[in-house]
Structure 1
Amino acid sequence: MPRTLVADLDAHIGQQVTVCGWVNSLRLQRKLQFVIVRDHTGMVQVTHRRPDGGSELEELIEHGMPPESAVVVTGTVVANEVVKLGGVEVVPTRIEVVSQADTPLPVDRNSGIDHRLDWRFLDLRRPEQRLVFEVSNTVEQAMREFAQQAGCTEIHTPKLMGTASESGAEVFAVKYFDRTAYLAQSPQFYKQMAIAAGIDRVFEIGPVFRAEPSYTARHATEFTGVDVELAWIDGADDVMRFEERMLAHALAAVRDRHGERIVESLGREVVVPEIPFPRYTMAEALKLLRERGWDPSGEKVDLDPEGERSLSALVRERHGHEFVFVTEFPVSVRPFYHLRPAGNPEVTESFDLLWNGIEITTGAQREHRYDVLVRQAEEKGLGIEPLRSYVDCFRFGAPPHGGLGAGLNRIVMVLLGLDSIRESTFLFRGPNRLAP
């Protein structure tokens, strides 16, 4: 008999069905045996009345199918408004245990995050944990949909590089036959190469590697990056307008598909932001925060995590908004390829996007003039020869362009109010974790 999903059972009342899933829990009473069976669409109560004299089925339920055993249940769907799980139950005629779970289970919902990560496949069987990845899938799908509708071409850039990107910091070196290669910390240079090739708008959603010895709740050594590059822009504001519309589109998709379940499981409402997002230059942000007591020495030129949280709190207070763009970062804290506006060469045409106090995006207009790009690289102390294949892209005519890089895992973490990026990553990688 074909398998019936739990979510579809109410369309089969009075019919015999086969449900495949895991034993979520058992409640064994004197006259009745209740088994909650779970598949990826929901849970159903399987109700078995103990017969006089006993039976093989009664014995199997009693002793042969501990929680998390994989089972195939065949029985009749019965409407029962008393049943909290959808108002239906299955009265079994046959149960097959296809794989019995060991007992006791090595992990539960009260286990610490590191222990749960050790047993990630069991941890993800919980519906609220699986919901995280359903939401992540929707965010990724909606972003891809928006980018394609906006005229972007999806590309897939190499993750093995012959030279360390940008400054050479925060990269993993790997053996590559008789030489050393490096895992890409960003598709930045390749996106720009695509622009120089005449592909007007590009995007990529793929793995990114950062050799950062960071142990914070928002850092990972491998994560999924969302990268966009747009040609023929007038400034970084064109990129910011693209991103705020893309995020609003993605959050609307999450609200429509998962909003009720997110409230039920995580107690969090999905808010689709109003456009445009508030914008503050770095100079404006520093001034406002110092007036409120942050950085009393006045020495900082960038925002630390405390500053990001404080600025977001200020924006919520002033604008009632969860997002804020911080623009015009100083040259000293931005890479050599960020464009410096002619009227203010001490800053860059760049931005970060903060969401509820956490930075989720970095973006900028890029420097597209070969001579200026080379000069800025030299000013940062970078040798040109290791960057030759990159800077050569700008020797033969390149349009004004800019783009952004965002972390999908961090976006989902903030969206769902999770405590750590570990919760929004299928198999987390950090300085101390390479397994499972």
Structure 2
Amino acid sequence: MIHSHVPVSDLREHIGRTVSVRGWVHTLRLQRAMQFVVVRDGTGLVQVTNRRDGGPLEALIEALTPESAVRITGRVVDAAQVRLGGLELVPETVEVLNPAATPLPIDDRTGPEQRLDWRYLDVRRRPAARLLFAVQTTLEQGMREYAYAQGATEMHTPKLMGTASESGAEVFELGYFGRSAYLAQSPQFFKQMAVAAGIEKVFEIGPVFRAEPSFTSRHATEFTGVDVELAWIDGVEDVMAFEERMLAHAIAKVADLHGEAVAEHFGVRITVPTTPFPRITMAEAQEILRSAGWDPSGTKEDLDPEGERSVSAHMREATGHEFVFITHYPVGLRPFYHMRAADDPGLTLSFDLLWNGLEVTTGAQREHRYDVLLAQAAEKGLRPEPMQDYLNAFRHGCPPHGGLGMGLARVLMVLLGLGSIREATFLFRGPNRLTP
């Protein structure tokens, strides 16, 4: 007789019935008179209780190893003394679908780097790790929902480029039929081409590659970027408004679906942000830091991670808000395609978004005038020839536009209070990690 498969979380609805549970052996307690097996599926844990009688079932259970994949059919019994949900499964058949080698390469004491070596086991064994990917799915769904509702078109741009990006730095070079190709650092140029193609609102969620030898908790050599480009904007404010509303919508969706689970597994209460987010200029941010004793002398004008944390803390105290846009970065800190302020050509119409001290987004209004773009590229020491395909997009009526690039894993880091981007990624890629 075939018995229906029931998720562990639904077993209470089947007390007194015989059902099948599929999952992994979580723990084994093999006593003289009794055998206890805790089985874990994606929804929870259940105790399987077998009284020894010398039969074939006893021998099967005795041979089990932790993390073996099993299907156990048995009767669901109300058992108040059992701490795991007050239920137990009294087995009738035990089927070993795939035995796990023993001993396991990781346990609860294993350090983070070794856990990354065995990531499939690490994620399988920790409900918090699996919850992260459910949260990521909902977060992406929420951002897509908002973008679709605004009439945006989802695009899939190339990740192979024939020339390096605008700076030529921090790109991965690879062989391509006897010549060189490069992995895209960003869909930036392609998004702008889509705008020039008459697609008014563009977004993409896809891979981004950065050849940065960075060993920090917030850098990766391959990550998922959330990119948006908006045409016919009146100014960079339109881009910031789009992002804050998109994030507020997506975070509200996560709070609604996963808020309780996130509080239980990560100890974090998700705060749905109000809009608009606070905005301060880069000059104002530096003034806040100077008043707190920060001295930028001898360093570049950009905010370092400590500066970002300090500004965020100040703004949170002043406004109660976890987010802050920092705007109007100096020309020296921004790429040639950022539009410059008409009233102060030394500043760009650009922004970073900080969330609880971590930069999660960079955005700007783009320069859409061909002659101005050429002049700004030359000023940065860039030759137009390698970028001619990109520059051509501005020669035939490209509208005013702007956009943003957001790091999905960084958003998850802050949302769930994680210490490293490694934890917010399924299979992390960094300067020292290309496997598994």
Q: What SS does the corresponding residue of 1:411 show, helix, strand or coil?
A: helix
Moved more, 81-90 or 189-198: 81-90
Structure 2 residue 106 is matched with structure 1 residue 104: no
Supply the distance in 2 between the matched residues of 1:208 and 1:149 (Cα, whole angstroms): 25
Question: Equivalent residue for 2:14?
Answer: 12
Amino acid at match of 1:25: T
Amino acid at match of 2:142: A
Question: Equivalent residue for 1:317?
Answer: 317
Question: Equivalent residue for 2:263?
Answer: 263
Structure 2 residue 138 is matched with structure 1 residue 149: no
Q: From the superposition, tell whether residues 235 and 241 of structure 1 become closer, same or farther in structure 2 (CA, over 3 Å).
A: same
Moved more, 111-120 or 74-83: 74-83
Indicate if the aligned counterparts of 1:109 and 1:123 stay in contact, CA closer than 8 A.
no
Question: Equivalent residue for 2:88?
Answer: 89
Q: What SS does the corresponding residue of 1:378 show, helix, strand or coil?
A: helix
Moved more, 217-226 or 247-256: 247-256
Q: What SS does the corresponding residue of 1:102 show, helix, strand or coil?
A: coil
Amino acid at match of 1:40: G
Question: Equivalent residue for 2:329?
Answer: 329
Q: What SS does the corresponding residue of 1:151 show, helix, strand or coil?
A: coil
Question: Equivalent residue for 2:117?
Answer: 118
Deviation at 1:261, TM superposition (A): 1.1
| Residues 176-205 of structure 1: CA deviation (Å, up to 9, x unaligned) | 001100000000000000000000101000
Supply the distance in 1 between the matched residues of 2:288 and 2:189 (Cα, whole angstroms): 35
Question: Equivalent residue for 1:45?
Answer: 47
Amino acid at match of 1:44: V
Deviation at 1:112, TM superposition (A): 1.3
Identity of aligned residues (%): 67
Deviation at 1:140, TM superposition (A): 1.2
Deviation at 1:79, TM superposition (A): 2.4
Structure 2 residue 314 is matched with structure 1 residue 303: no
Amino acid at match of 1:252: A
| Residues 363-421 of structure 1: CA deviation (Å, up to 9, x unaligned) | 00000111111110111111001110111111110111100000111111111111111
Deviation at 1:298, TM superposition (A): 7.8
Supply the distance in 1 between the matched residues of 2:425 and 2:366 (Cα, whole angstroms): 30
Supply the distance in 1 between the matched residues of 2:223 and 2:385 (Cα, whole angstroms): 29
| Structure 1 length-normalised TM | 0.97
Q: What SS does the corresponding residue of 2:386 show, helix, strand or coil?
A: helix
Kindly report the root-mean-square deviation, in angstroms, between the aligned alpha carbons of the 2 structures: 1.3
Supply the distance in 2 between the matched residues of 1:299 and 1:57 (Cα, whole angstroms): 70
Indicate if the aligned counterparts of 1:36 and 1:43 stay in contact, CA closer than 8 A.
yes
Moved more, 355-364 or 263-272: 263-272
Q: What SS does the corresponding residue of 1:139 show, helix, strand or coil?
A: helix
Deviation at 1:33, TM superposition (A): 2.2
Deviation at 1:296, TM superposition (A): 5.8
Deviation at 1:61, TM superposition (A): 1.9
Indicate if the aligned counterparts of 1:290 and 1:298 stay in contact, CA closer than 8 A.
no
1:32 aligned to which of 34, 38, 63: 34
Supply the distance in 1 between the matched residues of 2:109 and 2:294 (Cα, whole angstroms): 37
Question: Equivalent residue for 1:210?
Answer: 210
Q: What SS does the corresponding residue of 1:124 show, helix, strand or coil?
A: helix
| Residues 324-354 of structure 1: CA deviation (Å, up to 9, x unaligned) | 1100000000000000021111100000001
Supply the distance in 2 between the matched residues of 1:324 and 1:349 (Cα, whole angstroms): 16
Aligned 1:26-425 pairs, distance under 5 A: 26-51=28-53, 54-62=54-62, 64-125=63-124, 126-295=126-295, 297=297, 300-425=300-425
Supply the distance in 2 between the matched residues of 1:299 and 1:29 (Cα, whole angstroms): 66
Runs of 4+ aligned residues of structure 1 deviating over 4 Å after TM superposition are: none
Amino acid at match of 1:8: D
Q: What SS does the corresponding residue of 1:89 show, helix, strand or coil?
A: strand
Deviation at 1:3, TM superposition (A): 2.2
Supply the distance in 1 between the matched residues of 2:58 and 2:263 (Cα, whole angstroms): 38
Deviation at 1:300, TM superposition (A): 4.0
Deviation at 1:299, TM superposition (A): 5.6
| Structure 2 length-normalised TM | 0.97
| Residues 189-237 of structure 1: CA deviation (Å, up to 9, x unaligned) | 0000000000010100000000000000000000000000011111111
Flag structure 2 segments of 5+ consecutive residues without an equivalent.
none
| Residues 128-152 of structure 1: CA deviation (Å, up to 9, x unaligned) | 1111111111111111111111111
Supply the distance in 2 between the matched residues of 1:76 and 1:256 (Cα, whole angstroms): 35
